[in-house]
Amino acid sequence: MYSEKVMDHFSNPRNVGEIENASGVGTVGNAKCGDIMRIYLDIDEQGIIRDVKFKTFGCGAAVATSSMATELVKGKTVQEAMLVTNKAVMEALDGLPPVKVHCSLLAEEAIHAALWDYAEKNNIVIEGLQKPVNDIEEKEEDISEIY
C-alpha cells in the first residue's frame, strides 16, 4: 500500500525537532482527524533556508510527507520553497494512497504558515504566498477537485 520511500521516511523521519528563535514557525491542523503539524524555519539574510525542523502529532503519512517536505526545502530560497507543493512531496515519495492525499497538505500548509510568519516578522511580501489556514479542512474541497 505504501511505497518504500514512504515507509523509510515514516520509520526514520528526517529533521524532527524544534529550532530555538526560529525565523518562522507555522502550525496547521486537520480538525477531521485531529492531526497537527508544526514547522520551524531558520532563514538567513539572503533568504535561504539554512535549517528546518518539524514536529507532528499525526498519522504515518503526515510524518513521511513532513519529513520529505523538510528535505525538499532545506538549502532552498524562500521562493524555491514555495514550489514544494503537496503534489511535489507526493511525487518525491513515489505516491500516496488516495485516502492519504489530504495528509500531505499538512506539510505544505505548515511550511506556508512558517513562511508567512517569517514574512510578517521581517515586513516583507513573498510572491504567491497566501494567508495560511489554521485547519486544512478549509482546503480539502480544493483538492478533491484535483485528485
Any idea which residues carry the catalytic annotation?
A: 33, 103
Segment near ligand FES (CB under 6 A); pick from 54-62, 74-82, 84-92, 121-129: 54-62
Pick one of 22, 39, 52, 61: the residue that binds ligand FES (CB under 6 A).
61
Write the Ramachandran bin of 132: left for phi over 0, alpha for psi from -120 to 50, otherwise beta: beta
Between 23 and 66, name the residue whose CB sits nearer to ligand FES.
66
Q: Count residues near ligand FES (CB under 6 A).
A: 9
Distance between CA atoms of 68 and 70, rounded to whole angstroms? 5
Q: What phi and psi, each to the nearest 5 degrees, are found at residue 116?
A: -65, -45
Between 24 and 29, name the residue whose CB sits nearer to ligand FES.
29
- Site residues for ligand FES, 69-128, by CB under 6 A, read 103, 106
Which residue reads 492525499 in cell numbers? 101
Q: What phi and psi, each to the nearest 5 degrees, are found at residue 122?
A: -105, 5
- Site residues for ligand FES, 14-33, by CB under 6 A, read 30, 33
Distance between CA atoms of 128 and 64, rounded to whole angstroms? 26
Contact flag: residue 59 with ligand FES (CB under 6 A): yes
Which residue reads 518539524 in cell numbers? 54
Between 23 and 67, name the residue whose CB sits nearer to ligand FES.
67
